[in-house]
Every structure is written in C-alpha cells, then in structure tokens.
Structure 1
Amino acid sequence: VLRLHDGKLIKDRRYHLRTYPNCFVAKELTDWLIDHKEAPDRETGIRLMQKLMDHYIIHHVCDEHSDYKDAKLLYRFRKDDGTFPLDKDVKVFMRGQSLYETLVNVEDSILKVREENSVKYQRTFVGCEMIDWLVQKGETANRKEAVELCETLLEHGIIQHVLGKHRFFDSDLLCQFRINFRRRRRLTELLNENAPRTLSESPDSPFCLRKLNPEQGNTSFLSVQLTKEIKVVSAVRRSSVTSLAGGSNPYFNITPSLGSLPAAECNPKSVLKRPVTNEELLSPGAPYIKKTLTIVGDAVGWGFVVRGGRPCHIQAVDPGGPAAAAGMKVCQLVFSVNGLCVLHLDYPTISSLIMTGPRTLVLEVMEAIE
C-alpha cells in the first residue's frame, strides 16, 4: 500500500461526477505488479488481487463487483477507507509487529542474539525483561496485563520459548520472536497458502460505533454528538493496535470477528456544515478555541473516527467510549496529535499516527465558538 501511495497509483479519482478518494484502477495496478516483478504475468496478477479481495484487503469502491476484473474499474484498500475488518488473529499479529518494530529501533534493545545450550537464537529476550519494558513504556498498565499480553502473543505463534518447552512466565526464561517482521514478503507467497483462512460466522466488526438495523444487514452507523441529535454515517470504530481482544482474560474482553462483510456505504458525508481551511482556522480573531483532550484507550480503542484533511475533523464519537468521556465532540478540528501539529495531514496519516502511538493519546482540537 505504501509503495502504491508513493508511486501515485493510489489517489483521488472522479467517476460520473463523483470523487472517490484513495482509489486505484485495476488495469493500472495489474500493469504495476508486472513492471515491479510482483507478478510474472497478468493472470497471476489477477489471482493475487482476487486473493486480497477474498481476504477483505481490497474491494470495489461501491462493492458492485465481488471478483477482481482487469479493467478500468476503481478499487480501494480497506485500510485506506477504514473498512478493514480486524479479527483476533489480525489484531494479535499487528500488536506483535508493532512491539517488534519498536524493540528493533530503540537503543540498547532487549532484543538480542543469545545462546541457550550452546545454540545461538535470533530475536531473543528474557521474559522478565520484556515485562519490565512493557510496563515502563506504558504498553500495559501493570505486570499482570503484560503477562497476559505475552501469553496471547505466544498462543498465536508470535513469540515462543526458544526450545518450545515452556509457556510464558514472568521469569528469566529465554524467549524469542518466531516471526522476523523485517523480512520483505512477496505477494506471490499468498498463492502458496495450503489452507484458507477460517472466518467467523459473524459479519460485524467489533470496532463499529453503533449499528442500525443489524438484522437487515444495514451498514450505517451512528455518529453521536452528546448535545445534538444522532446523525447517520458509514464508518468503523478506529481500534487500538495497542490493545488485544478475545479469550477469558480481563485485559482482552472483546471478541473480534471477521466475516463476509455487507456492502459498505461509500464516502460518508462530512458532518461539517462547510469546509474549513487552515488559514481561516489560524487567522487572528477566528471564532475557534483550542482544547486539549487526554484520552486513555480501552481494550477496544479510543472511540472516535477522524475524516477529512488539512485540517481533519472528528466525524463520529462513540458516546460510551473514552473519547466522549474526555470531552470530544463531533465537528471538532484536529490540531495536534501527541504534540505533533497535524493541520497539513490527511485522515489516513493522522489515523496511522494514533494507531501506532501510545495508549494514552493527547489530542489538541479546535472547536467553534457558538
């Protein structure tokens, strides 16, 4: 996805007087796969993209086609429009990847090559040191949660005892990351899978706001501002990759699911009454006040949706989530994320900053003076 964005293959496109953001043309992408040696021929390229469709990675912008067609049709990565469904396995994988990348990039990392019984093992760490690090860096609230997190990573094959003989304990046992997340994988590896992914029977993502008419398969969600009437938008709740779900552990108290998603409404209408520019927002005497919100994510996420760009705005707020409790409201404009000014960024970039940051989120917002 990043390579396609950098190459401008993914961009906003107009079709029949309507703008579809962050889209690619199927035929152009097939050409790109061949030119960049990701596929040897068009047939393989089509099979690869169909695989991504089957796993809910990409979709036709209006969900009119269930098959990937090598034609001038618009498709989109679900990660770019917020409709990517996160089941438990995916969340655990993403959390493991996030922790691995952080550990690799820090100085004097606890992740090292170590010996056990005269055998060298890559990507190893001592169990109790990992617990110390998770608590110290705010990845978990306490040692109990840190142990539960590591147990979940072990159960899903992200980490293991180097000899595979023990479960995870807060001790000096030597463990390692089984997966080298830095290894670049080629798309053609998708075609070598022996078994298809097992999908949950439930079609709903646990990270939605609040679903309307679920028995009818309606995909609209409620965008709630505490002091105003409820409005309908199509969105998913942005979940935290720094918290996992599932199982009987109190720290993982939500059971995500991934299934055959119903057709999603494209490009939800902005809740803003009119567009706002940065120049207008920052001009002297502008009718806006700045507020600082400190939001501590729970086991599901922070409970709000960001949309738009330059500046972005709050499109939806879960009335029962951490963001609402911190005073967030629909239509507020996002000024900074964890001290970084984001007025010049679009919503996918801001969402990525939030998702990959700490669980405690410090957000500065601009609110119109009524």
Structure 2
Amino acid sequence: MQRHRTESRGVSGCTVGHSSQRRMDIMAIGEELRERLHASDDSLIKDRRYHLKLYPSCFVGQEVVDWLLKNREAESREQAVEVMRTLQDYNVLHHVCDDHDFKDDFLFYRFRKDDGTYPEESDAIAFARGQRLYSRLKKDKNMIKDRKYHLKTYKKCFVGKEFVDWLIANGDVPSRDEGVKEGRELLEAGVIHHVCDDHHFRDEHLFYRFKNDETEAKKFSDVLSLLKSMSPRVRRSTKEQRSRKGTVNGTGAGTGAVTGTRAEAPSQSEEEEATYTPMYPASSDRKPMPVPSPSEEPVAQPVTVDQLMASGAPFTKKTVKVASDPVGYGFVIRGAQPVHVHTVDPSGPAAVAGLTVGEYLVSVNGQDVLNSTHTEAARLILIGPTTATLVTMKKI
C-alpha cells in the first residue's frame, strides 16, 4: 500500500474537511507568529501603559507591520495588514477594546491566547487546548521527535499510547479512556493527525503529529493562499460571524444590545427593545463607564427620522471627529432609525472631541446611517480610519 497524506480524508475517513482543516492551518500560523513575537528581541508583546492604565501582553499594530517587513514575512505593508486582518477574522487576535479592525497604526492589539478570549466554539476551544499541550510536550524531548519505522523517518511525531501515558502522568486526564477522548477531540479539530491519515486517535503504537510541526503552510503569507483556496461563501461567512459576535461591543463604538460571543445579530425589534447592558466583554481593557441609575439615565427621547430631519425641528447638526487612542474611541451607541449615543467615557477620546450623550447619528465616515441599526453603524466605525468622522443631531 502506498503511504501518503490525503487531504480530504484518510483510510479511516476521520480527518477534518477542507474548510475546517484550512481554518486550523490559519490558526496554527497565527500561533507560530505569536510565539515568534513573544521570543523577539524587540519586545513587541509586552505590558503597556496608556493614561495610567496597564494593558497586559499587547502589541502595537504599526510595530508588528514593521517587524513583518524586516523579517521578510510580508512583501508590503498592505499585505501585512491583509494577513493580520485575516487572523483577526479567525479570532486569533483582536484590538484590546474591540474597537478596530487591524490597522497599521499606533493601536493596541492582543492574541486571544494571551487573554483567554477564544470564542466558545468547539474547534477553537480544542485548538487552544491543543496549543497549550503542544507547548508543554515540546519541552519533553522524549515525546515529540523523529521516529523510524521500516527504514522511513517520520519527522516530529509522537506515539498515541505514549501521549495517553503522558496525559495521565501529568494529571491532564484521570484515565486512559479520557486520554483517548482527548486525542480524538484534538484530531477531529484538526490540531493533530495520524502521519498517514490512516487512523483516528488510538491508544496504540501509532504515530501522530501536531499541525504546528507540519512543514507546509508555515509562512506568514501562506494565510492568503489558504484564504483564496476557500470558497467565497466560507470567507464571507467568517467575516460576517466576527462582525456579529460582539467584536464591536467594546467600550468604543459598542452596541447596547446583549450579544455574547455566540449570539447572532439581534433583530431590529430586539435592538430597539433591549434593556441596556454595559458592553465590556472579557477582552475589553478600558475601565468600564459607570452605568447610570434609571432615574439619572439621560435617555434619548424617541424620535423618528422624519421628526429629526423636519424643517424647524429643535435639533442642530454638528460634525465631530473622534480620534481613537490606542485602546478605542470611548463611547457606546444604541437604537435604530435613528441610532443615538448612549454613553460617553468621560476620560476617553469621544468626550474630548465634544460628543455627548443623546446625540443622534446622521452619518459615519461619510455614509448615511439615519436608517441603520446601531450594529450597522458600529461596523462602519470598526472598519473605518482611526479618526471617526460623525455627523450628529443634537437637541437645542
């Protein structure tokens, strides 16, 4: 029998599908980049202070782009940004307050492995767990190593039975059955695979390998070729999921509706009726803004777009330019048709720019948002330049 690696399935039919495998490839490249940045002499990932607040284990977007060019990992600044945004789409990294897509600017970002904010998806959780195990196994020179069998050398692999022994000895699992379950979950998530893709994970003398140790798809720029090999539907779905899963729910241009990491985009009626909940996910680092009590809360009076824009209406139009600091914009928006400013961080950029609670958004970065939901308006801020240009209507 000819021994070769099959991409879509092994003899046992248990390897992951194309899209899942490529997703794991992209996440593995992101993990490789994270490890290299941590080990860099330039101290790119470190605790940083801004306005007396400490932001642990973060990096500056502009500095990482410089590093990627210096190390010939990208051909241009534009390519570096494109790949980093792809890693962000796959939840490998994020802005510390989830206020920005990746930008070649003085903005703070962090790998999700460094703050434990991987999305609650089974494959992402298995990937994160697999990376922790891989980091520990690498330190044991007897576990992952080159092994010979029938005159052929299998690079950087481990034995299934020995892996189960190791898990039990280190207290990761209580029994061999649980060890096999762990190995199977890692294989099904694409974190490990049998060296010839002929077996699911078994507690036997069979060779397996971590995806991290595969020779292919290790270059930073390979992310783009992996992305292009996916169907347009899969690529679009990944971006849409990130834009819906609360990534705009930081203390900057965050939404007011409750949208946990697994929640779908709320319907318009849900957005209009949602009770205010401060949007500061575990990934958010800016100090939360105080939540006003119901009697103190400066609630925007319900108005329609027609009432807002009617001739003689008691509103005045103004333009506000909010220049993000490294950790975000510092305001929260809510509502729909029209969207209004719900909360402003008194120490943030929005307050400095003159944005106040109760103002209605007319446009964001030149795009009309009068008939938009706050989720749609927040997305325009998220993907826009670091200085958001807002046209608002304020009650006289």
TM normalised by structure 2 equals 0.44
Greater helix proportion = 2
Query: Which of the pair has the greater relative contact order for Cα pairs under 8 Å at 6+ separation?
Result: 2
Larger Rg: 2
